[in-house]
Amino acid sequence: MDNAPMTPSATGSVRIEHEIGLHARPSVKLTQLAKSFDSKIEFAASPEGPWVDAKSIVKVMGSKTPKGTVLHFRAQGQDAAAAVQALVGLVERDFELTS
């Protein structure tokens, strides 16, 4: 968890509908996508945090975020807007997993 101040250049939120929440496979998908961007990217289950580094697989999986949680993303950097858009899209598409 990281509560260091950030001046995000992009934010977005999305509700997790995937049956098991942010568990093993969704966590891997989310982390891999986050790592494909240069921006610093974090998420939290509340707009006040605590914020989790979206590029850390151990921290993402460790967050044990359940189904129904509204995930708040914030990103800082050149590709922040694209990063938030892509991550929100991934969650909306149920992490592109069939089960």
Partner 1 sequence: MTSNTKKTLRNVGIVIVSHSPDVARGAADMVRQMVGDAVPLAWCGGAPGGGLGTNVEAILTAIDQAWSEAGVAILVDLGGAETNSEMAVEMLPDDRRARVVICDAPVVEGAVMAGTEASAGSTLEQVRHTAEELRAR
Contact residues toward partner 1 (CB under 8 A) are 24-25, 28, 31-32, 35-36, 55-58, 61-62
Contact 19, 66 (CB under 8 A): no
Burial profile 31-50: b = 16 or more Cβ within 10 angstroms, e = fewer = bebbeebebbbbbbbeeebe
**Which CB, 70 or 97, lies closer to partner 1?**
97
Q: Is the dihedral of CA 20, 66, 60, 75 positive or negative?
A: positive
**Which CB, 55 or 74, lies closer to partner 1?**
55
The least distance separating partner 1 from the CB of residue 55, rounded to whole angstroms, comes to: 8
The least distance separating partner 1 from the CB of residue 47, rounded to whole angstroms, comes to: 25
Options 23, 79, 81, 86, the catalytic residue: 23
8: which 2 tokens? 């995000």
R_g over Cα of the chain: 12
**Which CB, 13 or 25, lies closer to partner 1?**
25
The least distance separating partner 1 from the CB of residue 87, rounded to whole angstroms, comes to: 14
Catalytic amino acids?
23
